Amino acid sequence: MVETQDKKTDEDDLIDGGKIMSLWDHIGELRSRLVKAMVGIVVVFLLAMTFSDFLLVYLQQPLLEALPKDNSKLHFTGPLDVFVVSIKVGLLMGVIGGSPIWLYQFWKFFEPALYPKERKYILPFVFASVILFLTGVAFCFYIMLPMALDFLITYSMQVGTPIITIKDYMSMVMVLIFGFGLIFETPVILILLALLDLVSAESLSEYRRFVLIGILVVAALLTPPDPISQMAMAGPVFIMYEISIIIIRIIKKPKASSELVAK
pLDDT digits (tens, 9 = 90+) for 95-131: 999 999 999 998 888 777 777 777 777 888 889 899 9
Burial state string for 23-62 with b = 16 or more CB within 10 A and e = fewer than 16? eeeeeeeeeebeeebbebbeebbeebbeebeebbeebbeb
Based on the structure, what is the number of domains in the chain? 1
Query: How many residues comprise the chain?
Result: 263
Burial state string for 103-113 with b = 16 or more CB within 10 A and e = fewer than 16? bbbbbebeebe
CA–CA distances in Å: residue 180 to residues 87, 131, 161, 235: 21, 13, 29, 12
Name residue 75's beta-bridge partners: 165
133 within a domain of the structure (yes/no)? yes
Query: Structural domain of residue 31, as residue ranges?
Result: 16-262
58 within a domain of the structure (yes/no)? yes
The confidence band for 11, taking pLDDT boundaries of 50, 70 and 90, is: very low
118 within a domain of the structure (yes/no)? yes
41 within a domain of the structure (yes/no)? yes
Mean pLDDT of 138-161: 84
CA 261 – CA 3 distance, rounded (Å): 9
Residue 43 has pLDDT above 80, yes or no: yes
4 within a domain of the structure (yes/no)? no
Entry pTM: 0.79
CA–CA distances in Å: residue 8 to residues 2, 11, 59, 69: 10, 5, 55, 71
207 within a domain of the structure (yes/no)? yes
158 within a domain of the structure (yes/no)? yes
C-beta separation of 101 from 41 below 8 A? yes
CA 248 – CA 201 distance, rounded (Å): 6
CA 78 – CA 207 distance, rounded (Å): 49
121 within a domain of the structure (yes/no)? yes
